[in-house]
A and B are shown apart, each in its own frame.
Chain A
Amino acid sequence: MSLSASPSSKKRSYAPHKIAFYIGLVAVWQLVAMSGVWPSNIFPSPYEVGEDLVYGALDGSLLHGFATSMWRLAVGLSISIAGGVALGIVMARREAFNQTVGSLVLGLQSIPSIAWVPLGILWFGLTDAGIIFVIAIGAVFAVTINTYTGVKNIQPHYIEAARNMGATGGRLITDVLIPAAFPYMISGFKQGWAFAWRGVIGAELLFSYLGLGYMLYVGRSLNDISQIIAVMLVIMATGLAVDAVLFKKLELKVMSRWGLR
Chain B
Amino acid sequence: MAKLEARGITKYFEHESHRLQALGGVNLKVESGDFVCLVGPSGCGKSTFLRIVAGLEKPDGGQILFDGRPVTETGPTRIMVFQEGALFPWLTVRDNVEFGLKVSGIPREKRAEVSERYLDMMQLTKFAGSYTHQLSTGMKQRVAIARALVMDPDVLLMDEPFAALDAQTKDLLLVETQLIWARTKKTIMFVTHNVAEAAVLGTKVAVFSNRPSVVKREIPNDFPRPRVPDDKDLIDFQHEILQELRPEVRKGGGAGASGASKDDADAEGTVAGEEEKKKKKKKKKGGTQ
Taking a contact as CB atoms under 8 Å apart, the answer to whether B131 and A164 are in contact is no
On whether the beta carbons of A167 and B82 are closer than 8 Å, the reply is no
Indicate if B54 sits at the interface (CB-CB under 8 A). yes
Considering the chains assembled together, what is the distance between the CA atoms of A10 and B103 in angstroms?
Answer: 45
Q: Are A175 and B82 in contact (CB under 8 A)?
A: no
With A179-B88, A257-B90 known as contacts, the answer to whether A161 contacts B103 (CB < 8 A) is no
Asked if B103 and A162 make an inter-chain contact with CB atoms under 8 angstroms apart, the answer reads yes
Taking CB atoms and an 8 Å cut-off, the chain A residues in 143-178 that contact chain B are 155, 157-158, 160-167, 171, 175-176
- B82-96 contact mask (Cβ, 8 Å, vs A): 1 or 0: 101010111100000
Do A167 and B131 touch across chains, with their CB atoms under 8 A apart?
no
Separation of A175 and B82 alpha carbons in the complex (Å)? 19
One digit per residue, 1 when the CB lies within 8 angstroms of any chain A CB and 0 when it does not, for chain B 75-116 equals 110111010101011110000000110111000000000000
Q: List residues of chain B with CB within 8 A of the CB of A257.
A: 89-90, 131
Query: Given A162-B103, A166-B104, A176-B88, are A259 and B74 neighbors across the interface (CB < 8 Å)?
Result: no
Q: Tell me how far the C-beta of B115 lies from the nearest C-beta in chain A, rounded to whole angstroms.
A: 13
Q: Which residues of A contact B56 (CB under 8 A)?
A: 160, 163-164
What's the nearest-Cβ distance from chain A to residue B271, in Å? 29
In this assembly, does A73 line the interface, its C-beta being within 8 Å of a C-beta of chain B?
no
Tell yes or no: A180 within 8 A of B by CB.
yes
How far does the alpha carbon of A158 sit from the alpha carbon of B132 in the complex, in Å?
13
| Number of chain B residues close to chain A: CB under 8 A | 27
B79→A164 contact, CB < 8 A: yes
Given A164-B80, A166-B75, A158:B100 Cβ within 8 A: no
On chain B, the residues within 8 Å of A258 by CB distance are 89-90, 131, 133
Chain B neighbourhood of A254, CB < 8 A: 90
Q: Bound complex: CA of A162 vs CA of B102, how far in Å?
A: 11
Q: Note all chain B residues with C-beta closer than 8 A to A179.
A: 88, 90-91
Give the complex CA separation of A143 and B147 in angstroms: 33
Residue of B nearest to A155 (CB): B86
Taking the closest CB of chain B, its distance from the CB of A256, in whole angstroms, is 8
Query: Residues 244-287 of chain B: 1 if any A CB is under 8 Å from the residue's CB, otherwise 0?
Result: 00000000000000000000000000000000000000000000
Judge if B134 is at the interface, Cβ distance under 8 Å: yes
Contact surface of B with A, Cβ cutoff 8 Å: 54-56, 74-76, 78-80, 82, 84, 86, 88-91, 99-100, 102-104, 131-134, 147, 151
A–B complex contacts, Cβ < 8 Å, 8 sampled = A160-B86, A161-B86, A161-B88, A163-B74, A166-B103, A167-B103, A257-B89, A259-B89
Which 6 pairs of residues, A with B, have the shortest CB-CB distance?
A: A259-B133, A165-B100, A157-B86, A161-B86, A179-B90, A167-B103
> Apart from A161-B86, A167-B99, A175-B99, what are 7 other A-B pairs with CB-CB below 8 Å?
A163-B74, A164-B76, A176-B88, A257-B131, A258-B89, A258-B131, A259-B131
